[in-house]
Amino acid sequence: GNLAPILFLLHQYEEATKHAEQAVNIAIDTFGNDHPKSVMFANLFQQRSEGQRLILSIK
């Protein structure tokens, strides 16, 4: 499974980002760029990355 969501919840952003990137790359390698699963993982990664930047800017 993808550990990124759990690591984000635990505020382990750097490690979560690594896992999220890995999930995106695996989805793209497996399904291709335009497949709904690849797009879903890419969108989730982008949303979490933006959220992480906001959280870090507040601290």
Query: How many angstroms separate the CA atoms of 56 and 32, rounded?
Result: 32
What is the per-residue pLDDT across 21-54, written as a single tens digit (0 to 9) for each?
888 899 899 999 999 988 888 887 787 777 666 6
Q: What is the pLDDT of residues 1-12, one digit of tens each?
A: 678 889 988 989
Question: Measured in Å, how far apart are the chain's first and last C-alpha atoms?
Answer: 30
- Indicate the pTM of the whole model: 0.69
